[in-house]
Amino acid sequence: MPLADRQRLTRYTSDVDTYTLAIITDEDHASQVELEDGQTAWQSTLRYDRLTRCEDPSTGRARYTLEEIPADQGGEHHLISLIAEGGRGAEFSELVMFGERLVTFDDRTGLVCEIRNDNQLVPRHILMTGSGDEQFKGFKSEWATLRGDQMIVGSHGKKPQEEWIKVLDRTYTLQSINWQDNYQRIRDALGVDAEGYVIHEAAEWHPDRNQWLFFPRKISNEPFDEPVDEREKGSNVLIVADEDFTDIRTLEVGERVPERGVSSFKLVPGRPNECIGLKSVEIGDRTETYLFCFDLDGNILQEDTFLGAYKCEGVEIM
């Protein structure tokens, strides 16, 4: 059996040009709902969309277009969680195909769930912050990818407890590893000193290139100020690092829109130089999500396409 990361990247060939996307919402406080029996619960929306690739016959340049699948044709499903922390839950921040399992991560509770039958959450683990020993607090899971037969789950990297990663194997056996040095090397490559910060919500391991790809949501050389962060610190810089983060380069992808930051991206199976991604906007109570496509040379293959006035933080190709 091939390793999980390579299986994920080769499950389609380069002859495929139509893909089904799964996209999941993280609606923060708006996720709380009341069920018919009066019980308080937390809800997320899983939507499906169709992505089509074509090539310009004269230039060979690839372009992607998005088509929504209507809700009444199976394009929208509600996921209900009864697990919360501090009155919040179902704030799912990523989607990953781990073998045949579609896995999602609650960035509030640390819950790791498989999604079955489009609308069933099956809890598999609860990740705890930092090393897992210091606080009774869920890990703020923000990005996830596969490396070999393991699933790597990471956080913002903005605070020390967010510089740990969680490593899960196919049986969900857990390791916690301090990645402080790797996060620092990324900050150094971006020229961000101790006064500033970098916020990560999107990363991929590239098994063909043996490289880490990080697409920071926010980059700032100034101390954190929430209103300024929301309006001005969105990033368009992709980080390309070797496996031990000793060789790191940066690549600008398209034009920077200061209020938009990347919250998830995935390599396209069968086309390992091309990616799809989500950009999120959060300004006060205003939230928006856009989908875009790009290649690892920095070319835009689909301009930002509006998905809806809500926040989505996870995308995967089914």
pLDDT tens for residues 27-59?
777 788 888 898 999 999 999 999 999 998 888
Separation CA 192–CA 135 (nearest Å): 29
Cα Rg, the chain, nearest whole Å: 18
Evaluate if residue 131 carries a pLDDT over 80. Answer: yes
Q: What is the CATH number of the domain that holds 187?
A: 2.120.10.100
| The total number of structural domains that make up the chain | 1
pLDDT score for 31? 84
Q: What percent of the chain has pLDDT over 70?
A: 100
Averaged over 270-281, what is the pLDDT? 97
Q: Which residue has the tokens 């940066």?
A: 250
> pLDDT tens across 301-318, in order?
999 999 999 999 999 999
pLDDT score for 249? 97
Quote the domain boundaries for residue 115.
4-317
pLDDT score for 60? 84
Q: How many CA atoms lie within 13 A of 42 on its CB side?
A: 24
pTM value is 0.96
Evaluate if residue 251 carries a pLDDT over 80. Answer: yes
The amino acid that residue 185 corresponds to is R
Separation CA 20–CA 225 (nearest Å): 38
Q: What is the DSSP letter of 86?
A: T
Long-range interactions of 117-121: CB distance < 8 A, separation 24+: 118/46, 118/74, 118/77, 119/46, 119/77, 119/78, 119/79, 119/80, 120/79, 121/79, 121/80, 121/81
